Structure 1
Amino acid sequence: MFNSLTHPASPATRTCNHRHRWPLNRWFRRLSYLLLASITAISISLGSVSPAQAWSWRNILRGGVQVMQGIQLTSMSDSQEMEIGADINQNLMKTEFSRFNNNQVQSYVNAVGQRLVPHNNRPGLTYIFQVVDSDEINAFATMGGYVYVTKGLLALADNEAELAGVIGHEIGHIEGKHLLQQIRSTSIQRGVLTAAGLDRSTIAQLGVELALRRPHSRQDEHDADQRGLRIMGSANYGQIAMATFMQKLANMGGSSPAFLSTHPSSSSRVVDIERSIDPNRRYGDGLDANAYRQQTLAVR
């Protein structure tokens, strides 16, 4: 089966699917109810089922349609996703983190992130980059354009291109809608779907839980690596920096940073990144260590 992350549909296909999704769903429901009604009527007339059993069949069918509709989380609009991202952000900043109180560092990280934004494939989102006041080495993204980087990770990076590689990777998770897919899978496992899918507050609660404590799959990590590598290269950052930073994390061994608890790392990931580097973009902007250190002195 082809995966939508690794084999994205063409723009024409996406437009077609969007145009016909709801008519097809209505057609499916009507046909299903018509078929069930016909079978039920025949069964009742033959005495093989009672009217009570027929009603039970109708409920089973409605349940099947309910699951089908609830799975459609990844089809929510960009504006809906940004609203939920804002809810998740509010929750995180109240209960889990505090914003690093240094406007110069915040502005610098935001500038790096905004340089990458035009090169991602979700232009309908407004991206927000924040530095978290934590010495842990960590970075993560939620949904709707929210990306978080700890001051501990800023201190570990040796240059701006390494930071750009991390941020590009997180943008890759948003671009690939990885958290939304995790929410969909988790909601199915927990049986919390309703006829309309999931309500906003439930999605936000699951988003907080999954973003902080549930590791991404290796497939999602590989996908985010490839997307981030493309994004940073298109922004003229030296792609080699993503590999050097990932290798640095892998070499930490017993002192593995928090980043690796939600971003599984292995030597094979570094090899894959190295193989995917465009020779023409291997070296580029952002490799000056001294310039980077001047911008991040406040976190050291």
Structure 2
Amino acid sequence: MNLKCFSVNYFFSRRRWLYPLISAMVTLSLCLGTYLPSQAVDWLPLILRGVQVVQLSSMSERQEVELGKQMNQEIVGGVKIYRNSQVNSYIQQLGQRLAANSDRPNLPYTFQVVDDDTVNAFATLGGFVYMHTGLLKTAANEAELASVIAHEIGHIGGKHLMKQMRQQAVASGIATATGLDRNQAISLGVNLALNLPRSRKDEFDADSRGLRSLSRSGYAQSAMVSFMQKLLNNKRSTPTFLSTHPATGDRITALKKGISIQPTTSTAGLDTNAYKNNIRPLVVS
């Protein structure tokens, strides 16, 4: 037998999977080059390098959750997570109650407490919500804390961070025709969540969504107003929660209007003693 012919035939028999791949790429290149010349993409280098690209404009829920998990790894690597089991169990139960009554109840929500005495809370993608120990200590009761968590869940419901990431990626020129490099997307999302304020429109939307979740969960609606008013009246310093959440006075006015349109008589969650017992490890530390 001709060994050369054997080796060539063997090579191609072992590489038959290449034909449909090459054919598909050639077809795609022709289509892009013929009909969309301004958006033509050289896919082969991306495939060979194994580049992971995120398309923010058409992300599935599964992809959003996965990106949220990767962002969470970055966040927990840079902050100190509060590990007390009693407090964490309490926060998980409270958060899941609100999430079940949110606009996106099917997400696998994760609620974490950051060991930091600043008054702050934030959310990323795919159901990840974070609150500082300073926030828990500042809230007078469960309903006030629930109002903040509901607000952050409202940001997830409105996909506000995802929209902000897309806008920032385009404005900074790091987005391409194929999308955004996954590592860049993670860094961008973490930075936006931790450091930059939401837009006025997003804040009003998160308040509205949060108020609905709060009401559906049976909490006193007044708690959302009282907590925001408490922080606004704090003349000693501006809490981080408000410095990254603009137009607080206008938001209070809008919340009062929303409550007047669909009022409830519930006073659930206003018991201060019950709340302090639930976060006792924080109170006595």
TM-score interval, normalised by the smaller of the two chains:
0.7 to 0.9
List aligned pairs for 1:35-184, cutoff 5 A. Answer: 58=37, 60=38, 62=40, 73-95=56-78, 97-184=79-166
Task: Decide whether the 8 Å contact of 1:250 with 1:265 is kept in 2.
Answer: no
Q: State which structure, 1 or 2, has the greater radius of gyration over its C-alpha atoms.
A: 2
Amino acid at match of 1:172: G
Per-residue CA deviations over 1:258-281 (Å, capped at 9, x if unaligned) read 111221242111111111115542
In structure 2, which of residues 171, 192, 197 is the aligned counterpart of residue 189 of structure 1? 171
For 2:102 and 2:242, the matched residues in 1 are separated by: 24
Per-residue CA deviations over 1:197-230 (Å, capped at 9, x if unaligned) read 1132221110111001110011100000000000
Per-residue CA deviations over 1:111-142 (Å, capped at 9, x if unaligned) read 11011111112233100001110001000001
Q: Which consecutive unaligned segments of at least 5 residues does structure 2 have?
A: 1-29, 42-52
The answer on 1:298 being equivalent to 2:281 is: yes
In structure 1, which of residues 257, 260, 266 is the aligned counterpart of residue 239 of structure 2? 257
Task: Decide whether the 8 Å contact of 2:32 with 2:39 is kept in 1.
Answer: no
- RMSD of the TM alignment (CA)? 2.1
For 1:87 and 1:208, the matched residues in 2 are separated by: 10
Per-residue CA deviations over 1:71-100 (Å, capped at 9, x if unaligned) read 9614311111111111111111112x1111
Task: Decide whether the 8 Å contact of 1:152 with 1:299 is kept in 2.
Answer: no
Residue 24 (structure 2) aligns with: none
Distance 1:250 1:265, change over 3 A: farther
Aligned sequence identity (%): 48
Residue 67 (structure 1) aligns with: none
Task: Decide whether the 8 Å contact of 1:237 with 1:281 is kept in 2.
Answer: no
In structure 2, which of residues 209, 222, 240 is the aligned counterpart of residue 240 of structure 1? 222
Per-residue CA deviations over 1:159-181 (Å, capped at 9, x if unaligned) read 11111100000000000000001
The answer on 1:281 being equivalent to 2:264 is: yes
Q: Which consecutive unaligned segments of at least 5 residues does structure 1 have?
A: 1-28, 37-57, 64-69
For 1:209 and 1:61, the matched residues in 2 are separated by: 29
Task: Decide whether the 8 Å contact of 1:162 with 1:241 is kept in 2.
Answer: yes
SS in 2 for 1:255: coil
For 1:172 and 1:270, the matched residues in 2 are separated by: 16
TM-score by length of structure 2 reads: 0.79
Task: Decide whether the 8 Å contact of 2:219 with 2:267 is kept in 1.
Answer: yes
List aligned pairs for 1:203-242, cutoff 5 A. Answer: 203-242=185-224
Amino acid at match of 1:234: R
SS in 1 for 2:180: coil
